[in-house]
Amino acid sequence: MTEMIVGKSLSKTYRTLVDTVSVFENLELKIDKGSMVALVGESGRGKTTLLNIISGLDRPSTGEVWFGGERIDTLDEEMLSDFRNRHVGFIFQHHYLLEDFTALENVLLPLRIGGKTIGEKEKEKAKELLSRVGLSDRLRHYPDQLSGGERQRVAIVRALIHDPDVVFADEPTGSLDRRNADRVEAILWELCRSMGKTFVVATHNMELARKCDAVISL
Ligand SMILES: Nc1ncnc2c1ncn2[C@@H]1O[C@H](COP(=O)(O)OP(=O)(O)OP(=O)(O)O)[C@@H](O)[C@H]1O
């Protein structure tokens, strides 16, 4: 299998005014293209930190991050931002939808940010994905007119609209009640698998982790 992400000898240290926190040292990881991977570990063990490093949101203190054969931890901010816009989709615990934009407009934002002209083709793709997550009758609703689970489903579609190579999810259903969380996780799972995406999820949910092809334990 082709490797999508390789982390070599990764270490991360946070320095604050009062002390230094070493989150992990000399961590090695490989994530295969098209695989579903869970990042697990007790609270504070560094799941978010590692996710941010391998997705190009943050940099390691030492070590190397390779993404699709390209080293990314040495890119400057502008190149890194461009890299994320092209190759990566994010889903966080909070939806981060823009309140003044409808569900459809929120979904189209990554394309606008990537400099694409939004035409019928793009709108159709957004509508099709929104209907796949059960939101075809919520296109013109604003975030505050949607339920928590619906908002997170919009965020899922927004993470996929620009056809990223890898979808990163950090506790994607952590703010939802169990029933909603299960539903949204299943939808996220199905979509990523059917679209052949590499999927990396930081989670406390061991049931979700068990469904993954690989588990990285911190
Ligand atoms: N900006 C920062 N400055 C200093 N320490 C930090 C910073 N960010 C995170 N840390 C510390 O690094 C460690 C790892 O944090 P991280 O958020 O990656 O853990 P986590 O495994 O995702 O936790 P949780 O499951 O609770 O979300 C924690 O001990 C945290 O206090």
- Here the tokens at position 174 are 């952590």
Residue-level pLDDT at 17? 87
Nearest Cα residue to atom 10 of ligand 1: 14
Asked if the interface predicted TM-score (ipTM) of this complex is over 0.90, the answer is yes
Q: Characterize 68-82 residue by residue with b for buried, 16 or more Cβ atoms within 10 angstroms of its Cβ, and e for exposed.
A: beeebbebeeeebee
* Whether the Cβ atoms of residue 37 and residue 31 lie closer than 8 Å to each other: yes
Nearest Cα residue to atom 3 of ligand 1: 14
Give the range of the structural domain holding residue 101, as residue numbers without chain letter.
Answer: 3-217
Give the integer Cα–Cα distance in Å for 146 and 99: 11
Give the number of domains in the chain.
1
Distances (CA, A) of 25 to 10, 22, 28: 6, 7, 9
Q: Provide the terminal-to-terminal Cα distance of the chain, rounded to the nearest Å.
A: 24
Give the integer Cα–Cα distance in Å for 6 and 54: 8
The residue to mutate among 12, 42, 48, 168, having the most atoms of ligand 1 within 8 angstroms of its beta carbon, is 48
Q: What is the CATH number of the domain that holds 80?
A: 3.40.50.300
Decide if pLDDT at 179 tops 90.
Answer: no
Nearest Cα residue to atom 5 of ligand 1: 14
Residue type for position 132: R
Decide if pLDDT at 46 tops 90.
Answer: yes
Residue 108 backbone dihedrals phi, psi, to 5 degrees: -80, -10
- Quickly tell me which residue has 């199905």 as its tokens: 190
Give the integer Cα–Cα distance in Å for 202 and 204: 7
Decide if pLDDT at 136 tops 90.
Answer: yes
The residue to mutate among 13, 40, 47, 173, having the most atoms of ligand 1 within 8 angstroms of its beta carbon, is 47
Residue-level pLDDT at 141? 96
Residue 29 backbone dihedrals phi, psi, to 5 degrees: -150, 155
Query: Across the chain, what does the average pLDDT equal?
Result: 93
Residues near ligand 1 (Cβ within 6 A): 14, 16, 21, 23, 41, 43-49
Residue-level pLDDT at 176? 85
Cα Rg, the chain, nearest whole Å: 17
Average pLDDT over residues 159-182: 91
Burial of 208 (0-12, 13-18, 19+ CB in 10 A): buried
Give the integer Cα–Cα distance in Å for 200 and 37: 5
Give the integer Cα–Cα distance in Å for 107 and 218: 33
Model confidence band, residue 113 (pLDDT cutoffs 50, 70, 90): confident
Question: Beta-strand (E) ranges in 54-146?
Answer: 62-67, 70-71, 88-91
Average pLDDT over residues 36-59: 94
